[in-house]
């Protein structure tokens, strides 16, 4: 059997992450890349030794019939490109957020079902090594019942020298609901959905702290009533301490991690015994976790591992599903539920 063919539309930073992941797959060949900038497309093709590059995706898809189209363009273009690909009967792996509105997603979902094509969103955090570890402990019953979930995204989007606030050229994220914060809601929603279950209800607060910046909002908080547990989710755009913290509390175990710094994970188990001794034991275990996690994380950076832990696995599983004609790594229903949650989170109920 020949190799599966992939093509990339959009040659920015995230496309390079897709291409690095694809380099390690022996059963996949990247047939071409495309970008509206010829130079960017050509540079990407040269760098990854890809034989063809295009400045028009219609021309590329007229010449090449790929098994999977990776859409790595800015979010406002996702819908049109994905729609054309699905209409042509092509499978799609689209960057997050898959569309800018839930209605657009529904249209793509119907089209993918009608054309029997795979429609996949890059929810790479589902396959993040630490997220998988917490999920497997949860599945094994180590957590007991889930009491609550916290997902806190902290990224400086409001500083004077960050691209999000460029006064000369509007950042693509400003076209999303919630502005550039909207670009991160999929990550928050996907983790919430994984650990708290489908959202039954939610309340949001949106705020703008840096009033001299172009951002419509730079702070966001929400409480989500999940099918399995409540979740507190947040985005802070004014911090200088960047991170993506996931905290899962169960009746028997507590897990805390910063997903920007894998593989550091702190687990605390309920123990029986003398409280003072157990507290000492917890401290020692925690210190060991932090130390080994930090050293492993540093080693990981030196090794050149992708900062997008989970993307490689998602891409590999997607091609595997295409090759074996098996179920996709993320079901359309899961993508739908995350898209609905993103839609809900993007609605400001209370503005500060």
Partner 1 sequence: MKVLVSGAGGFLGRQVVERLLKGGHSVRSIIRPAAGDSPWQDDVEIFRADLRGHGELVAAFDDVDAVVHLAAATSGNEDAQFASSVVATERFLGAMARSGVKRLVHVSSLVVYDWSRARGVIDEGTPLLDDMYGMGPYTIAKIWQERVVQKFAAAHSWDITILRPGFIWGPRHALIAGMGRTVGGIYLMFGPLTRLPLTHVNNCADCLAAAVENPAAIGECFNVVDGDDVRVWRYVREYAKRKGPSGILLPVPYHVGYGLACLASLTSHILFGSKGKLPSLLVPRRFESQFKPLRFSTQKLTRLLCWKPPLTFEDCLKDTYSV
- CB of residue 233 vs partner 1: minimum separation in angstroms? 28
Nearer to partner 1, 84 or 306 (CB): 306
Nearer to partner 1, 198 or 306 (CB): 306
2 binds partner 1 (CB under 8 A): no
Nearer to partner 1, 40 or 96 (CB): 40
Residue 292: Cβ within 10 Å count = 13
Strand, coil or helix: 35? coil
According to CB under 8 A, which residues from 145 to 174 bind partner 1? 163, 167-169
Residues 6+ apart with CB under 8 A from 6: 22, 28, 29, 30, 31, 66, 67, 68, 69, 70, 319
Q: What are phi and psi of 207, to 5 degrees?
A: -140, 155
Contact stretch for partner 1 (CB under 8 A) within 40-48, 97-105, 205-213, 309-317: 40-48
- CB of residue 276 vs partner 1: minimum separation in angstroms? 40
Helix (H) or strand (E) holding 146: strand 146-154
Q: Is the C-alpha dihedral spanning 19, 23, 25, 26 positive or negative?
A: positive
Q: How far apart are CA 89 and CA 134, in angstroms?
A: 37
301 binds partner 1 (CB under 8 A): yes
Both tokens of 107, joined, read 């249209």
- Could you tell me if 55 and 30 are in contact, meaning their C-beta atoms sit under 8 angstroms apart? no
Contact stretch for partner 1 (CB under 8 A) within 38-46, 98-106, 286-294, 332-340: 38-46
According to CB under 8 A, which residues from 303 to 342 bind partner 1? 303-305
**Site string (42-81) toward partner 1, x via CB under 8 A:** -x---x----------------------------------
**Residues at the contact surface with partner 1, assessed by CB under 8 A:** 12-13, 37-40, 43, 47, 163, 167-169, 301-305
């Amino acid at each position: 059997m020949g190799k599966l063919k992939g093509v990339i539309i959009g040659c920015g930073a995230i496309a390079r992450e897709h291409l690095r992941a694809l380099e390690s797959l022996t059963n996949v060949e990247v047939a071409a890349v495309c970008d509206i900038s010829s130079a960017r497309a050509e540079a990407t093709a040269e760098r990854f030794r890809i034989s063809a590059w295009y400045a028009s995706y219609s021309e590329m898809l007229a010449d090449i019939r790929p098994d999977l189209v990776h859409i790595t363009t800015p979010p406002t273009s996702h819908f049109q490109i994905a729609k054309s690909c699905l209409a042509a009967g092509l499978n799609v792996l689209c960057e997050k957020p898959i569309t800018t509105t839930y209605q657009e997603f529904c249209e793509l979902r119907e089209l993918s079902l009608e054309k029997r094509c795979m429609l996949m969103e890059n929810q790479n955090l589902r396959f993040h090594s630490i997220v998988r570890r917490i999920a497997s402990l949860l599945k094994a019953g180590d957590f007991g019942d889930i009491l609550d979930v916290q997902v806190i995204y902290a990224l400086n989007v409001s500083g004077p020298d960050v691209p999000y606030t460029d006064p000369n050229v509007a950042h693509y994220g400003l076209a999303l609901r919630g502005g550039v914060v909207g670009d991160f809601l999929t990550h928050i929603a996907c983790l919430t959905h994984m650990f708290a279950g489908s959202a039954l209800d939610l309340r949001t607060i949106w705020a703008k702290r840096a009033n001299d910046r172009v951002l419509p909002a730079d702070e966001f908080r929400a409480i989500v009533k999940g099918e399995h547990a409540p979740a507190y989710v947040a985005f802070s755009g004014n911090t200088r301490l960047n991170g993506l913290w996931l905290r899962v509390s169960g009746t028997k175990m507590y897990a805390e991690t910063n997903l920007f710094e894998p593989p550091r994970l702190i687990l605390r188990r309920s123990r029986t015994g003398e409280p003072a001794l157990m507290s000492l034991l917890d401290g020692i275990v925690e210190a060991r976790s932090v130390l080994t996690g930090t050293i492993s994380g540093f080693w990981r950076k030196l090794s050149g591992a992708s900062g997008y832990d989970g993307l490689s696995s998602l891409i590999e599983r997607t091609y595997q599903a295409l090759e074996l004609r098996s179920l996709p790594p993320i079901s359309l229903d899961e993508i739908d539920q995350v898209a609905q949650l993103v839609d809900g989170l993007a609605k400001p109920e209370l503005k500060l």
